[in-house]
Structure 1
Amino acid sequence: MAGQPRLVLQITIDGLRGDLLDRYADNFGTDGFNYLRNKGVVYTNAHYLHANTETIVGHTTLATGATPSVHGMIGNVWYHADSGELGYNIEDADAPLLPTREHSAKGAQVDPAQKRARSSGRSPRGILAPTFSDTLKIATAGKAKIFGISGKDRSAVAMAGKTGTAYWYSTNNGDFQSSGYYMDKYPNWVNDWNGQDKAAQLADKQWQLLLDPARYVLGHQDDRPYEVDLKGYGRTFPHPFGAANHPLFFTRVLVSPEGDRLLLD
């Protein structure tokens, strides 16, 4: 058996079913998915036991190995008997969002689950089971450095657990942000990265197909009636990001491959 790894990386892709790796394999390069498939172990008979496949439910199940009835994250939004209202999954008014830079346009919220939140606070306090991250922290006597990063707050928070640090993308200004649960102020390296304003540099650019449309499995179905047009983003390629002061600019960036590039950066 190999020695103890210095880095453990858990990657979760929202909505990526196992069969899609085979369906889209013809366009994969030598790295990425093909590297993992050729060098790693592929489990073809792995299943989850819950029916509600919303973001927080799946991420917390993968992070804890427990079912929603055990880890407590039963939906992106659910009814709270104590308040008699619907509530957002990781909302925590006692862990307010730490401010980042001001921007000329207030980002418009398009996530219906986020609209249920009554405060900006976010934390993992509602997760009832220990995550892999939490167990790793204990196993290393607190030496492990644990981070969860994502375009969505609920994804980052679930993966970081209660002992890690979560950062998530802001659709207000393209910064990565966190809450008072994790820290009192941002470290310098976060402020330095945010100060580069990398998302805003994509203003007036567009999301274009990398390959010829005929190369894609669904390339002939670019315009479908169930697609959402983010007020000028369009339902067909190319998708223009528009001006950086548009209320949906940073959301448009996030839902494109550029959002993944910012996350990896």
Structure 2
Amino acid sequence: MNKLLRHSIIAIVALIATCGTATAQQKPRLVINIVVGTMRGDDLERFESNFTEGGFKRLINGGRYFNNAYYKFAHCTAATTLATLSSGAQPADHGVVGSHWWSYADGSYTSLIEDNKSYPIPFSTGTGNYSAKRLVAPTMGDMLLMKSPESKQYTIAIDPQSAIVMNGKAGVPLWAETNKTYWTTATSFTETIPEWIKRYNSDDTNSDYALSRWTPLYKAAMYKNSEVAVMEGISNKATKLLSDVNLNLDESKYGAMCYTPAGNTMLLKFAERLIAEESLGIDDNTDILNICLDSARYIAETYGPESMEYEDMLYRLDRDINEFLTHIYGSGDTQNIVVTLTAAHGTSPSYNPVDGKEHERFNTRQMEVMVNAYVCAHHGSSDYLLGFANNAIYLNHKAIYENKLSVEQIRDEVAIFLLQMRGVSTARSATALRNSAFTEGRAALMQRGFYAARSGDVLIDLAPGWIIESSDYRSSATSGYIYDRHVPIVIYGGGMESATIEERVDPAALATTICELIDIDTPWSSEGVTLP
């Protein structure tokens, strides 16, 4: 072989190797994380027969589908799980134990996002004094903008808490204000909103997606849940309006959008516009768009997962997803855009389904009175409780110290007393959770959800099927049982091989996996485990 030919071959091999490396290292330009407010882990399979080919089925068949994903902690609420999805950490590390908690420092009821030093941006006719200052752990969006300041992150949701927790401190969360559903944010994130959003609001664009009547998308016989499509005191037949008490009482547009599938539609349509107007994914600086579909949670809580309303919401969301995917993948190239789909949590069975088989309800106010009376009977009269939140009793440490008592002793006594109450499955003191290392079972679930500075003094778990009594909802996600912890996960695009993964996985690993895909450091509090 002559010298010139040998050099030519070496050059060609080097070029191929370089091209191969470039392809292997090519990272997506846009990551879109879709988080359904409530979706049980088997919903995508249970209702598959009525889904379109281009919606959920497109994601499942063309993406990497994890059908055995379970959160690894108890008390799976929207706040705790969204913080896990965004940070890749458990509540014990990211510090979000709920939307509110009692402060041991001053006895105040503290909000996760409220901040009187942050002000609503114009176009907010509702409240907007919110910030991310109480978020402890950085999110994947925070890590992205730390490494690549030219990148962008937006998070959109109806609920400001969803937007802020999923977003983190960097980037811009946007939420629907509580009167006209105008898109807004707060001064802690940006001083103004773009002109195109101002026009979007002025044109009242969200109203285009409102349902004048919510009637079933399909014939009643096609619904698996059609036999239970009844709200308390309202007969909802397939030919009549599927009505919600909140819709009839709420004079603003907010209720009409939140408690119907229209809320999901307006989010995804706004996402399409945002991608175009903000030029997301058009350069080599990867961008992130988080979409939190809160209406799914509101509908599940209001009607229950056995209702036709909940099922119909999923079918309409499937069509919305179909249109959204068609819009963003117009060219057919799925390499540059990654779409992930998961859920904040599942949900409990309805505590008052129309079949008459009521599930049990736990009255927390009665429990507070009984616990305080019990402590008073043994140690003298005082207000020993701050209150109940996040499935936990918060004790009044000041009152305990004033009576020269031990907080640890009162915790243990209250835990033992609570175990005698009907409906309480488990009660553990903060002392036990701090001083022990649980590796499996319900104790481990509770411990992973325990953050000492914010969690209560005595944490409880209700018996299976029990939920906290409330006039506001029929179903909730506050437990550590599988109906709350089991959610689907799908990763579509970005060169991910399509497959159905049966292995049990933790949704916390989704954030780490995304960070690996876009070549950034994983959030500092994450466990660093990626999805298989």
Would you say same fold, with TM above 0.5? yes
Distance 1:203 1:19, change over 3 A: closer
- 1:162 and 2:169 are equivalent in the alignment: yes
Displacement, 1:255? 2.0
Displacement, 1:161? 1.3
Q: Distance in 2 between matches of 1:15 and 1:244?
A: 23
The match for 1:45 is: 68
Aligned partner letter, 1:164 = G
Alignment check: 8 A CA contact 1:244 1:250 kept:
no
SS in 2 for 1:9: strand
Displacement, 1:188? 0.4
Alignment check: 8 A CA contact 1:200 1:244 kept:
no
Q: Distance in 2 between matches of 1:98 and 1:83?
A: 30
Query: Which deviates the most, 24-33 or 244-253?
Result: 244-253
Aligned partner letter, 1:195 = S
SS in 1 for 2:228: coil
Aligned partner letter, 2:268 = L
SS in 2 for 1:46: strand
Task: State which of 253, 256, 263 in structure 2 corresponds to 1:259.
Answer: 263
Task: State which of 194, 208, 225 in structure 2 corresponds to 1:218.
Answer: 225
Displacement, 1:196? 1.3
Alignment check: 8 A CA contact 1:203 1:243 kept:
no
The match for 1:113 is: none
SS in 2 for 1:206: coil
The match for 1:138 is: 146
Q: Could you tell me the TM-score, scaled by structure 1's length? A: 0.82
Displacement, 1:158? 1.5
The match for 2:38 is: 15
Q: CA RMSD in A?
A: 2.6
**1:226-237 correspondence runs (5 A):** 236=236
Alignment check: 8 A CA contact 1:204 1:240 kept:
no
- 1:84 and 2:87 are equivalent in the alignment: no
Structure 2 stretches lacking a partner, 5+ long: 1-23, 270-532
Structure 1 stretches lacking a partner, 5+ long: 108-118
Q: Deviations over 1:144-172 (max 9, x none)?
A: 11000011111111121111100011221
Aligned partner letter, 1:238 = L
**1:111-190 correspondence runs (5 A):** 120-139=128-147, 141-190=148-197
More strand per residue: 1 or 2?
2
Distance 1:96 1:30, change over 3 A: same
Distance 1:52 1:196, change over 3 A: same
Q: Distance in 1 between matches of 2:248 and 2:70?
A: 41
The match for 1:60 is: 83
Displacement, 1:59? 0.6
SS in 2 for 1:12: strand
Alignment check: 8 A CA contact 1:145 1:164 kept:
yes
Displacement, 1:204? 8.1
Distance 1:204 1:93, change over 3 A: same
Aligned partner letter, 2:188 = Y
Query: Which deviates the most, 150-159 or 239-248?
Result: 239-248
Alignment check: 8 A CA contact 2:83 2:96 kept:
yes
Q: Distance in 2 between matches of 1:205 and 1:82?
A: 49
Q: Distance in 1 between matches of 2:56 and 2:163?
A: 22
Alignment check: 8 A CA contact 1:167 1:176 kept:
yes
Alignment check: 8 A CA contact 1:203 1:244 kept:
no
Alignment check: 8 A CA contact 2:128 2:185 kept:
no
The match for 2:98 is: 75
Q: Distance in 1 between matches of 2:235 and 2:162?
A: 26
Displacement, 1:101? 6.1
Distance 1:252 1:70, change over 3 A: same
Q: Deviations over 1:98-143 (max 9, x none)?
A: 23165xxxx8xxxxxxxxxxx741111111111111112223x212
Q: Distance in 2 between matches of 1:243 and 1:260?
A: 16
More helix per residue: 1 or 2?
2
Aligned partner letter, 1:247 = E
Alignment check: 8 A CA contact 2:247 2:256 kept:
no
Alignment check: 8 A CA contact 2:181 2:254 kept:
yes
Number of residue pairs matched by the alignment: 242
Aligned partner letter, 1:216 = Y
Alignment check: 8 A CA contact 1:90 1:154 kept:
yes
Identity over aligned residues, as a percent?
A: 27
Displacement, 1:239? 3.9
SS in 1 for 2:109: strand
SS in 2 for 1:168: strand
Q: Distance in 1 between matches of 2:116 and 2:108?
A: 15
Aligned partner letter, 1:127 = L
Q: Could you tell me the TM-score, scaled by structure 2's length? A: 0.42
Distance 1:123 1:30, change over 3 A: same
The match for 1:27 is: 50
Q: Distance in 2 between matches of 1:194 and 1:151?
A: 14
Q: Distance in 2 between matches of 1:202 and 1:30?
A: 23
